[in-house]
Chain A
Amino acid sequence: MPASHTAEHASHDLRHHFADMEQQKETATLGMWLFLVTEVMFFGGMFCAYLLYRLDYYTAWVAGSERMNIYLGTTNTAVLICSSLTMVLAVHFAKLGNRKATAIFLILTIVLGLGFLGIKAVEYHEHWVNHEVPGPNFHFEAPKPGASLQYSPKNVEIFFSLYFAMTGLHAIHMIIGVGLLTWLLVRNARGDFSPYYNSPVEMTGLYWHFVDVVWIYLFPLLYLIRHK
């Protein structure tokens, strides 16, 4: 980019403590990734708890995992992958300065994000009706003596506790993501973004994709491990 070109457009977008737009952008990206490192450790603790209990109570994990609705889980994975595509396209068009296309893809991302949360709510409802929510109403049939899969219903309750903790934390991140996207939509309509300044769109994109990556691991660990 020629310097004279950036100067006029970027003057009001450039914070005074940065040398130029590129340095400002690199700083924002570094900061966002540092935040995502803390998020990796946040979710990492839960994955670690999952791993330990799974090793100890493997048969209970299989019994719990069999109660997951694999079709809704797969659909939700696809929905989230589609939302990552629309997010990446929103960032792409924000960088090109195409406000209309940015708005369309931000809206599509919001719709897909809400779709994911809706399907998740249907699944939670199914678990509620089936008495699979940990607590006083939790009820899980004990295996018959001599059945091939022996487990303690108490340990299946631990599986469901971790299931709700992990998917719940993920869902909270999705809700925050939808909030951020709505904020971007308002700023985009206001004309805040240009080919010279679009960091908020790009950083929200990083966050959204990170939440997608967390689900990419949650899905096989909770839904797909059904065999002894």
Chain B
Amino acid sequence: MSEHAQPTVKSFFGIWLALLVLTAITTAASFLELGPFNAIVALFIATCKASLVVLFFMEARHLPKITKVVIITALFFLGILLTLTMTDFMTRLLGR
């Protein structure tokens, strides 16, 4: 597609640097005692990193609509898999 500007080498290095910094932060944060927030912080940073890779390295920003729908489908079905399983699991937990 030629409508949008080609990403520059400089921008790739910027994303790379951001990913490395986030990796350092997530490892450092794991040494702190944050209780349940340890998992939340770790998964939040992981999601930031995954988004950077998908949006900038995999160029998901400039895809045609149909391909974007396919990507959202993946997240949707993964959501169904996790939520419905957890719904079942958690309600059984209450009955114990």
Contacts and interface: CB of A to CB of B under 8 A. Distances in A.
A33 B67 contact: yes
15 contacts: A22-B1, A30-B67, A40-B75, A48-B81, A48-B85, A51-B85, A81-B16, A81-B23, A212-B53, A213-B50, A213-B54, A216-B49, A220-B42, A225-B39, A227-B34
A85 B67 CA distance: 23
Interface string A29-59: 1100110110011001101100110010000
Interface of B: 1-2, 6-7, 9, 12-13, 15-16, 19-20, 23-24, 26-27, 29-30, 33-35, 38-39, 42-43, 45-46, 49-50, 53-54, 57-58, 63-64, 66-67, 70-71, 73-75, 77-78, 81-82, 85-86, 89, 93
A45 B42 CA distance: 20
Contacts of B9: 89, 92
For chain B, what secondary structure do more than half of its interface residues adopt (helix, strand, loop), or is it mixed?
Answer: helix
Interface of A: 1, 22, 26, 29-30, 33-34, 36-37, 40-41, 44-45, 47-48, 51-52, 55, 70, 74, 77-78, 81-82, 84-85, 87-89, 92, 95, 205-206, 209-210, 212-213, 216-217, 219-221, 223-228
B20 A37 contact: no
A82 B16 contact: yes
Main secondary structure of the interface of A (DSSP, over half): helix
